[in-house]
C-alpha cells in the first residue's frame, strides 16, 4: 500500500478558493489512479474527483464539475485538488485515495465510483466554507 498525507485545508469564505495536496510515498505512485473523496458531518463519504495514472482521464462528481480540478505531478508523487467558487455545502473532510489494484480505473466510466475501488487512504484534511 501507498502512504498518503493530505494538506491545504482550512477556512475560506464562500466564493473563495483552496488547493489541496496529497503527498504519496512509494516508487509506484505514477502507476496508480488517484481520487479525492469528502465526508460532511452526518453524511457518507462521497466521491469528488479521480485522475488516471497518466493524467489523460479525469472524472468529477456532478456537484463539483466546473469548479474543482484534479491534477497530479508524478515527479513529485503528489496529487492536487484545486477548488474554486467554494460553497458552504463543500464543507467536509477531504480524503485522497490510491487505486493500486485498478478497480477504479476499470470501472469509473460505466458505474458509480465506490470507496472500495480505492485501497489506500490519507487521514483527511478539513475544509470549511463560511457563508
For residue 29, what pLDDT band results from cuts at 50, 70 and 90?
confident
Task: Indicate whether 54 pLDDT > 80.
Answer: yes
Q: Each residue of 64-95: pLDDT tens digit?
A: 999 999 999 999 999 999 999 999 999 999 99
Nearest 10 degrees: CA dihedral of 62, 8, 37, 44? -100
Cβ-contact 58, 124 below 8 angstroms: no
What is the percent of the chain with per-residue pLDDT over 90, rounded to a whole number?
86
Give the separation between CA 85 and CA 93, rounded to whole angstroms: 18
Task: Indicate whether 60 pLDDT > 90.
Answer: yes
What is the pLDDT at residue 28? Answer: 86
What is the pLDDT at residue 26? Answer: 78
Interstrand relation of 125-130 and 18-24 (parallel, antiparallel or unpaired): unpaired
What is the phi/psi pair of residue 53, to 5°? Answer: -60, -30
Amino acid at each position: 500500500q501507498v502512504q498518503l498525507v493530505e494538506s491545504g485545508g482550512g477556512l475560506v469564505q464562500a466564493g473563495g478558493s483552496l488547493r489541496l495536496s496529497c503527498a504519496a510515498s512509494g516508487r509506484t505512485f505514477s502507476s496508480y489512479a488517484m481520487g479525492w473523496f469528502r465526508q460532511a458531518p452526518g453524511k457518507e463519504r462521497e466521491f469528488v474527483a479521480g485522475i488516471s495514472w497518466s493524467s489523460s482521464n479525469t472524472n468529477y462528481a456532478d456537484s463539483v464539475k466546473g469548479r474543482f480540478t484534479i491534477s497530479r505531478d508524478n515527479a513529485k508523487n503528489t496529487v492536487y485538488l484545486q477548488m474554486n467558487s467554494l460553497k458552504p455545502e463543500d464543507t467536509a473532510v477531504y480524503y485522497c485515495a490510491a487505486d493500486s489494484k485498478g478497480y477504479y480505473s476499470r470501472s469509473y466510466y460505466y458505474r458509480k465510483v465506490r470507496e472500495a475501488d480505492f485501497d489506500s487512504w490519507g487521514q483527511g484534511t478539513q475544509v470549511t466554507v463560511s457563508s
